[in-house]
Structure 1
């Protein structure tokens, strides 16, 4: 009973190390070796949060011991829980903080999970039975979800009942990151979610490859509950220029810092919508790959101040040619870029202009895969004074020459 009370207190106060350390003292009193693991992980976490250079050597020794203990306790945990569909775990401050689950064998025995994870923060749950909404309802209503902030339900082929159960769960109020990636939820499923009153805590929502349409993008734009959203991932759908304009024109998404709209039938008008938006002015990461924006779209981007805060930009496979790169390279707004992906665009003749531009000066990562680069291109890359830490040149003719 005393252990259950400790678990309850840890669940109610997941960020309070004092409770965990008092629990460790109690474990030591009863001869439980887990006490050492809790103390070591808590001390490592404190140092990582507020590094003390004077005690760095002590930290490095402790971290080495922590890695060793973590491996041992992970193995012990998986041996104990594997029959319940637990595939992997990650410890933090002495307890399992993230867990990969499959199936629903664990549902009658969530108490077993709590013994390892009284304050579970993140779950990847796959192979959920589709026969009814019951598994999702039971899981989200259980005490094991009380401290949950990250929920990943990717690739579950969720049915209508499953999406409805999710949308109506009050547990979602605490969720900050939700992934429904590769579930066919467009249309009715998306409407259920948009009618939910429990999504207001979301800061990250992954809706990649979920069969979203223009009407779904409009529903997102009308939502009154997404006012804290910082990352929206809607790649590999069919929202098109019209759907992107709906997202760009709503003040409800003004907090967005990351937007991924790869492979969405977006062209010049979609780029114009982002450029003209009075609300999406704080974007730092933008993925437009797989959309035929062409040179005209690149010229528009280069002249729009809305793109001035971007640090990461993905333009792979956007039908860009050297003429477009020339304008892009002269942009006064894209000088903060540290990560740029231009793969799958024929850029051989445009590379010199890009490398000599101010846009390239702060780049740490540059992807030029399948860009028809030759030996002269690689000589340029080697002679330019760049600060690159990562360079991807795969699938270019030059690879066969060096």
Structure 2
């Protein structure tokens, strides 16, 4: 058999590992040992039931990361070099992301070498959306458009050519400018037709209650397994109408965050048969009352739910107490909380049974200076926690040290910490923290924007586990410059693909040393929140640098001028160079971070696994 014949077999059975492993054996016979091993390791990870932190799983993850760092440029080919984001799954590129024209042009070339199935559009304009060509987009099953679009109508999306192949359609900030939400929904459902759609997201699309009747009466609703209507205007009555729709009884995931949902008169609606098979529920940003909170954990929903995001600025200790009394939640593994007050607001959850079984925990809005967060972390076994996000500042040095010394966080893959870094002991404690062998994504926020010691900031860059990161988001205020200057001197950062830096730059020389060192061979996305006076010199330094060969996406705040944007596009191709990143110190980013773990549930590359498991059930 030839390469093309093996790939055809894989495309015909996209959810089956057997054709991939057979291809791996053939590659090994041809002398491509690393490519074969990468396919085997990623297939093992995707199909493994081993928990996070298990030694075998950690070994597989390390092997996959090392192989990808060494060979990614060759395996993705020339077409992949122009894209700001590609994602490998089970040994092959599964999802690509970038500007509309980039993805549309790269798809046929990448599809010739990989069983592509997902595309995320990060920037686009309704005026230049071309007609989709199903023959050109072979294998496209999952499409996400995550950028603001103002459309004359949904006909501008030209989905009619894809309706027979899409299993997931995610739209964020896409809405017609001259249509009400009812007409919007009708047009969209007509465009989708009777295709195999299983996952639908319409967030920030100005939907109102009138759209729900059309949606729930359609043939599409009966086949959906995931529905996300977050950030719309549904209200309490809209939620009641949605939950009463028997057509949605097949849902496994439901997103209703930030929809102005309050306590329903009949709280038993949350025990609706529509929710019987639900595994993920997103309700953060809604001012839910005690009746709804306690009803959530009762009945079938409380027995089956795996992921819960909940809470809003009105949450205080009493409402947290109602959550703690809502049931045992035996299947709950991922909890994202938004509440306001002190650390004691969490006190009712210290003895809540689900805490001991969590793999992901996020808290936002609380002043963490007491003992509750430490006691919560002590209840989570070592090797179990995969992600911890504390996006509110840890105000106490003692609490900060207790969090760092907790066995629960030693094996996390994602870690977000926000604290006051003016006091040297806090930063020194981080520098001296034990090695995090699985940490790949780290966010550190100095909430007051000031770090008094340049030497401490420079020591932070030298921490050994920093160089295993795939993404780093850091706000060090007035000491960001020394941190950037030291980064290249500690050696290669072979895994780093995304870097977000936040703080004033004293001189463009600081970024010059960073950009020219050649120690960031795989950095693809760089975003900077910097002082206005240094913006243009910084960008011009990056434009002429040869030390960032894989850089494909640059975002800056403040926004560069139109001429500089055109220069960036000539250097790196079309992309979101005009889209300013959010400051790490702004509450809006902390709010987004709260739902980051939940958002990973709906990313397109994971939707492939969900398609397979859902159909199997």
Instruction: Quote the residue 1:389 is aligned against.
Output: 440
Instruction: Quote the residue 2:396 is aligned against.
Output: 347
Query: Given the alignment, which residue of 35, 41, 65 partners 1:57?
Result: 35
2 CA distance for matches of 1:196 and 1:400? 57
Instruction: Quote the residue 2:164 is aligned against.
Output: 118
* 2:319 counterpart of 1:319: no
Per-residue Cα deviation, 1:277-310 (whole angstroms, up to 9, x for no partner): 4352221111113343x43343433333221211
- SS at structure 2 position matched to 1:147: coil
Instruction: Quote the residue 1:300 is aligned against.
Output: 348
- SS at structure 2 position matched to 1:282: coil
Superposition map of 1:66-215 within 5 A: 67=80, 74-75=104-105, 94-95=139-140, 97-98=142-143, 100=145, 103=151, 105=153, 107=155, 113-116=159-162, 118-125=164-171, 126-128=174-176, 130-131=179-180, 133-141=182-190, 144-215=193-264
2 CA distance for matches of 1:374 and 1:255? 44
Structure 1 pair 135/300, CA: closer, same or farther in 2 (3 Å)? closer
Aligned residue pair count: 362
Which shifted more, 65-74 or 313-322? 65-74
Query: Given the alignment, which residue of 451, 469, 486 partners 1:399?
Result: 451
- SS at structure 2 position matched to 1:254: helix
Higher RCO (CA 8 Å, separation ≥ 6 residues): 2
2 CA distance for matches of 1:175 and 1:260? 21
Structure 1 pair 67/145, CA: closer, same or farther in 2 (3 Å)? farther
Tell me by how many angstroms 1:313 deviates. 0.9
| Alpha-carbon contact 2:377-2:403 (below 8 Å) kept | yes
Structure 1 pair 167/357, CA: closer, same or farther in 2 (3 Å)? same
1 CA distance for matches of 2:372 and 2:214? 48
Tell me by how many angstroms 1:237 deviates. 1.2
Instruction: Quote the residue 2:118 is aligned against.
Output: none
Long gaps (5+) in structure 2: 28-33, 40-70, 83-95, 108-120, 458-617
1 CA distance for matches of 2:420 and 2:444? 8
TM-score (norm 2): 0.50
Superposition map of 1:232-243 within 5 A: 232-243=281-292
Tell me by how many angstroms 1:185 deviates. 0.5
Structure 1 pair 72/269, CA: closer, same or farther in 2 (3 Å)? closer
| Alpha-carbon contact 1:86-1:102 (below 8 Å) kept | no
Structure 1 pair 221/159, CA: closer, same or farther in 2 (3 Å)? closer
Tell me by how many angstroms 1:138 deviates. 4.7
Instruction: Quote the residue 1:23 is aligned against.
Output: none
| Alpha-carbon contact 2:243-2:275 (below 8 Å) kept | no
C-alpha RMSD over aligned residues:
4.1
Indicate the structure with greater strand content.
2
- SS at structure 2 position matched to 1:165: helix
TM-score (norm 1): 0.74
Tell me by how many angstroms 1:198 deviates. 1.2
